[in-house]
Structure 1
Amino acid sequence: MFDAIMKFIGELNEDEPRSDDFAETDYRLAAAALLVHTAGVDGQISDVEHASLHDLIKQRFKLDDKAADKLLNRAEEADEKAIDLYQFTTRLNRALDDKQRARIVEMMWQVVFADGKVTEFEDNLIWRAADLLHVSREQRIALKTRVAGEQETGK
């Protein structure tokens, strides 16, 4: 009994969720769902966008392939159920600092630029999400420019 209580207290104090636990309150699920929404906002998720999405999630959250696939599946389900961006951005605002929220916007640009083109729907979505994440217009544009440049140089 004492061990169970100590485990529960330890889980409450963890800064980082377990690598394979993607609860509704996990900021990684909110970030991944926002990225899934970004990839599909133009009507379809291309193979290139899906691969980019998988790689970003795997690298950013330090997951293995199996855990990244699990998070992507949960994120797709969350995105399908979502009625707006607010539920994702609220979770991210609570869990992340300014720099980390800007990193989410950068990841959104990376997903968008994965297929080499930016649609007006994608651009508008990132503008709205960045606003909800309290990422400034200037920072959003700078991130877009940087990611576009990285795509051109093949980084």
Structure 2
Amino acid sequence: MAFLNSLGGESQGVVPDDTAVAVIALALHVIQADGVVEDSENQTLEQVIRAYFNFSKGEFEQMLAVARKQEEDAVDLFRFTSRINRALDETQKAEFIGMLWQVVHADDNRNELEDHLVWRIAELIGVSGRDRIASRQAAEGRQSDEKSQ
């Protein structure tokens, strides 16, 4: 979680090629993969991003607007994964994949398209299969802990 704080916590406005925009754009891409975007996915995305980056609601909405536009214009994932590869170290990349799993599991419905997309993003940013699976299991564990409370 600390890695995302270090990327954007001091941000004063939106920089279109900011790493935070790439993070949000990839998360948007993942939650749209199954063709159904639930409110719970959008809420989890906002919650996770605002907590990680220490963004106000207004800052998050600005970043979301820029990320949404860039995600709509993108023809592939390279635009975003290359930013993440340049900005994050190995541990931070694994944490990012964990954040994607949190968003995927927000709607209580794991979809093979979302799974495949997270797998592909993990591969493109160099996160090992073991770390990807551990991140998924941690997100699943958090979700079931939250349900039991």
Same fold (TM over 0.5): yes
8 Å Cα contact 2:81/2:124 also seen in 1: yes
Deviations 1:58-103 (CA, angstroms, capped at 9, x unpaired):
0111101110111111111111011111110000000111111111
Match of 1:131 in 2: 123
Instruction: Kindly state the Cα deviation for residue 126 of structure 1 after the two structures are TM-superposed.
Output: 0.5
Instruction: Kindly state the Cα deviation for residue 117 of structure 1 after the two structures are TM-superposed.
Output: 1.3
1:62 to 31, 54, 57: 54
* Structure 2: gaps spanning 5 or more residues: 1-5
1:150 to 124, 142, 145: 142
Pick which of 68-77 and 110-119 moved more.
68-77
* Structure 1: gaps spanning 5 or more residues: 1-14
- 1:117 lines up with 2:106 in the alignment: no
2:83 to 77, 87, 91: 91
8 Å Cα contact 1:22/1:28 also seen in 2: no
- Normalised by the length of structure 1, the TM-score is 0.86
Distance 1:16 1:57, change over 3 A: closer
Aligned mates of 1:25, 1:50 — CA distance in 2: 22
Deviant stretches of 4+, over 4 Å: 15-18
Match of 2:25 in 1: 33
Q: Aligned partner of 1:74: which letter? A: V
Instruction: Kindly state the Cα deviation for residue 16 of structure 1 after the two structures are TM-superposed.
Output: 4.8
- 1:23 lines up with 2:49 in the alignment: no
Give the aligned length: 141
Alignment RMSD: 1.4
- Normalised by the length of structure 2, the TM-score is 0.89
Q: Aligned partner of 2:121: which letter? A: A
Kindly, what percent of the aligned residue pairs are identical? 37
Deviations 1:35-70 (CA, angstroms, capped at 9, x unpaired):
111111111211110111111110111101110111
Question: Which structure would you say has the larger RCO, counting Cα contacts within 8 Å and 6 or more residues apart?
Answer: 2
